[in-house]
Structure 1
Amino acid sequence: MSDSPAAPRDPATAVDLLAAPTPAAVPASAVPASPVSPSPVPTSPVLDLSEPAGDEEDLTALMAAFRLFQTHHARTLARESAARGLNGTDTRLVFFLEAAVGGATPKQAGEYLALSTGATTSLIDRLERHGHIERGPNPADRRSVLLHLTPSGAAVAQQIRAVWSAAVREVVAPADRALLTEQFTDFGEALDRHSRAASVRTRPGVASAT
């Protein structure tokens, strides 16, 4: 976040500062005719890039707090994962499968984690060796499999989730949890929507609207 830009200068003032002093009056007959008309004084467009009035300070503080929350979240995930011989991506897949009723396919897991097919396969093999997940038949597609947590994987999810649950209980009153859940959901969806729109605007060959 950057400080607000200085208030834009009034265009009329800008022109006055650039214009030449007004010469003394001269009889019209003494002024030779000129075939070239004087060029207008160039001016720059005035852009208002400031945040809405009264909004910037609160928004800056909120964004700073959110970034700090992300830092604590990432550090905690890495620490809790490492304590169990895992990395953050391993643990994210464990949580994904815990929430996937009936299991999930490797393709669904890869899409959720934004991993390539090869990286997804390596991840699944690693967690299977740890004994945290298992492959099973997919009734909907014999060419595919469904991934499920084993009792060991379910225990990992429960142990790590307990750290976050304790933090939530400490700072969020039960009466506020439903609202916070809704706000987290809405914020995530809005963030994804604005990010996709920004990606389209900055794509080569796509002109931004003005």
Structure 2
Amino acid sequence: MTDTTPALPRTDPAQPLPPAPASPIVGVPETDPDSDLATLTTAFRLLQTQHARVLHHESSARGLNATDARLVFFLAAADGEGVTPKQAGEYLELTTGAMTSLIDRLEKRSHIERRPNPEDRRSILLHLTPSGSEVAREIGAVYTDAFREVVPPAERARLAEAFDRLGQALDRHSRAVTAAAVESDAAPRTT
């Protein structure tokens, strides 16, 4: 087999080639006291990517999309109490129209049902059906198995607390950004 790669022109074959350019440093240098935070943040981002992939594949295998599965998990976390469409829409950050389509889609697949709200006759509550509970259990089992595989029992409570605190910190950030955006929209504009 003949190599057909063109040779680079060299004016003096006795001269050594210049060194290859060095790759830029993408991470935080190890001497940085916060390098462990950079490592943690990178690991978290990779975890988010894997989570999104698992959720997509597991949802697709059941004829759902990731938002469908997120609503199923939200209802599963309600422990049978049910939630209003408004609560679910706020959690999922969906418009009223998108929420109605989502509810209709999952109800048609027999994963959720609408029930009258005993607290407010004008309102309904969303509840999982046995089929929806099974979807939550099946997809949730993927995560349970992964945690069982990598997190020793003695570390699980501590990790759960760290996840809770991280979620609260991210929620505070999200609320501050939302409040700043609302404040910015309300501010008079000068031109």
TM band (smaller chain): 0.7 to 0.9
Unaligned runs of 5+ in 2: 1-24
Matched residue, 2:7: none
Q: C-alpha displacement at 1:204, in angstroms? A: 4.6
What residue in structure 2 maps to residue 185 of structure 1? 164
| 2:36 aligned to which of 51, 58, 70 | 58
SS of 2:94's equivalent in the other structure is: coil
Pick aligned residue for 2:109 from 117, 124, 130: 130
CA gap of 1:199–1:136, structure 2 versus 1, over 3 A, is closer
Q: Does 1:162 align with 2:137?
A: no
1:69 to 34, 47, 54: 47
Extract structure 1 runs of 4+ deviating beyond 6 A: 1-4
Amino acid at match of 1:144: S
Offset, 1:196:
3.9
Alignment of 1:94 with 2:72, yes or no, is yes
How far has the Cα of 1:192 moved from its partner? 2.4
Q: CA RMSD in A?
A: 2.5
- Per-residue deviation at 1:99? 1.3
Is 2:103 the counterpart of 1:119?
no
Select the structure of larger CA radius of gyration. Answer: 1
- The unaligned stretches of length 5 or more in structure 1 are 5-52
- Partner of 2:51, secondary structure, is helix
Q: Structure 1, residues 143-202: CA drift from partner, whole Å, max 9, x if none?
A: 111111111111111110000000000000111111000000101111222344456668
Tell me, in whole angstroms, the C-alpha distance in 1 between the residues paired with 2:171 and 2:38.
Answer: 20
- Give the TM-score, by structure 2 length: 0.76
Distance verdict in 2 for CA 1:54–1:198, change over 3 Å: farther
Counterpart of 1:91, as a letter, is: A
Residues 157 and 117 of structure 1: CA distance in aligned 2, closer, same or farther (over 3 Å): same
Report the CA distance shift for 1:132/1:170 in structure 2 as closer, same or farther (over 3 A).
Answer: same
CA contact (8 A) 2:27 2:38 kept: no
Counterpart amino acid of residue 103 in structure 1: G
- 2:3 is aligned to none
* 1:54 CA displacement: 4.2
The aligned length equals: 159
In structure 2, the residue corresponding to 1:142 is in which secondary structure? strand
Q: Secondary structure at the match of 1:163?
A: helix
Identity %: 61
State the match for 2:151 in structure 1: 172
